[in-house]
Structure formats: structure tokens, C-alpha cells
Amino acid sequence: MAVFKEVRQLRLDQLVLSPQQARTRDVEKGLDELVENIRVQGQLEPIIVSPASEGDRFEIVAGQRRWLALRRLGAATIHAAILDHRIDEVTAQAISVSENLVRRDLSGKDLISICTRLHHRYGSVKAVAEELGLPYNKVRSYVKFDRLRPELKTLVESGRLDIKSAIRLEDHYGESMVELHKLQTIATALAEMTNAQKAEYFRAMQLDRAGGAPAAVADGTAGYGRRAPGAVRQILVTLRTDEVELLREWAKEHHLTQDAAAGQIIRAHLRRHTAAVRPKRGA
């Protein structure tokens, strides 16, 4: 386990960027604001460094953007917390992740990368969660990223699809070939859904796999009920207190969330209404 040997000022020319920096994307994003903040307030937090392989140089483990900001300001030195020994690349990346998590500026793609690497090392989701201080369920989702088909990986990395939904889609389609545009359509629809709506959508997909739902659910062309996924919208419904209680009881009896229960009741009424109106129009 790495421990800090000392905290002191280091010359900027003593520092090199570690190739294991966890943050590899959007490094320059918001850097102008950080430069201005450090110019006014000074450097409030030390960066983390470890001894480099040569001479009196050090590798930046965490604090890449603060280092870049001070370089832009023309500073000669930087406040640094120095680890007592040189560390391996996975440990360096884990420290970088932990520091960035505290600062809330790490991308989902970076988290997936380090969780996967640590899982390869430890072979345990629990060990990775404890190492990074992340929830177990979140780490479990991240380490499943490797088994996604390339199209789903691309959608997750681009931010168009959350990792949990991607895993459920992968589980549903299995070895089946699915065209990219179809997955893109589903991803767009899921992005507009509430968590309850997503849960209902995937329940419908499970029913289809068991032969109990319309085939359109499986191919993503009419996945939410009988409508196209892109047509799903969230609405606000106002009920009296006694009506809310009735809805709550009905949802509990049918093992549904209140959102899903309300959706089923409304759709059932609309289907009955449509069935009653159609014969009149044909008369």
C-alpha cells in the first residue's frame, strides 16, 4: 500500500505526466476556469506524485489539470504530496480514479476502464469496489462492459446509452445479430424514459423472449407496449389523495411501481376506448 512520504513544493520541470493518469478525456475542458481560479485563490490542493525512474524527477499520479493550469500561469513550483515509492500502473490509475471521484470530474468511460483493469487483477467485484470506494452494483455493471458487442460499447462510450441498459440489451439479444441503426433507435428511446419506464420496457422484452409479448418488442421497432420506443413520453397526472391510495394498492397487488401501474391502467382504458370507437367509424 502506497503512503505519503512528505508534502512540499516541487519545480514544474521535475514533473512528468504518468501514462496511467485515469483522466484521459476532456482534460482541457474547463481549464480556463481552473487557471483563473488558481490565479485568484492559489493552489488549494496538492497534486499526488510518485518517484520516477530517473534522478530527481516525479510522475504525476493525480492532479494533471492543476499542473497544466500552473504551467499556463508560468508558475515555477507546485505543491505536491509525494508517495514513498514508485508504484505500478494499476495502483497509479486507482489512486487517480479515487482522487477524481472526490472531485467529481471523471468520465464514465474512464471509470469503466479502471474498474475493468482492477477486476482483471483482483478477480473480484467486491475488491474493486472497496479499492475505489464505489458501490458494488455500479462496479458490477462496469466490469461487464468487456462482454458487450462493439456497437453497444460505442453507444455507451459516446454517452448515448447507460451501461446498465446496454448490459440488458446484450443479455436479451445474446448471439443474435442486430443492426446498428436498430440499437441506436432503442438507445434514443431509452434516453427519454424514466427508470420505471425502462424497467417496463425491458420486462416487455423478457415477455417477448418467452413468447408472451408482440414480436415488435424484440426488434426495437415498437418496443414500449405497442408503440415505437421513440414515441414514449412522460406525462404528469394529478390525482386526489384517495385515488393515489387506490393506485398504490393496485400497484402493490400487481408487483409494479406506481408509474408502471398508472401506465398499464391508462393503456388498458385507451385500448377499450379505441375498440369501442372503431366500429362506429366503420358504420
Domain ranges, residue 154: 144-231
pTM: 0.46
Residue 215: the pLDDT is: 40
Q: What is the CATH number of the domain that holds 51?
A: 3.90.1530.10
Residue 27: the pLDDT is: 63
In a domain, 117, yes or no: no
In a domain, 202, yes or no: yes
Nearest CA-CA partner of 115 in 71, 156, 65, 58 = 156
In a domain, 133, yes or no: no
In a domain, 271, yes or no: yes
DSSP state of 7: E
In a domain, 150, yes or no: yes
In a domain, 139, yes or no: no
- Name the domain count of the chain: 3
Q: Which amino acid is at 49?
A: V
Contact predicate 94/118, CB 8 Å: yes
Half-sphere CA count of 163, side-chain side, radius 13 A: 19
Residue for grid cell 415498437: 222
Residue 74: the pLDDT is: 93
Q: Which of 86, 111, 136 is the last residue of a domain?
A: 86
| 245 and 224 assigned to the same domain | no
Q: Which of 86, 108, 129 is the last residue of a domain?
A: 86
User: Which residues, given as ranges, of the chain have pLDDT below 70?
Assistant: 1-2, 19-30, 96-107, 208-235, 278-283
Measured from the Cβ of residue 222, the count of other Cβ atoms closer than 10 Å reads 17
9-35: per-residue pLDDT in tens?
Answer: 999 989 988 765 545 555 666 688 888
Residue 255: the pLDDT is: 79
Residue 256: the pLDDT is: 78
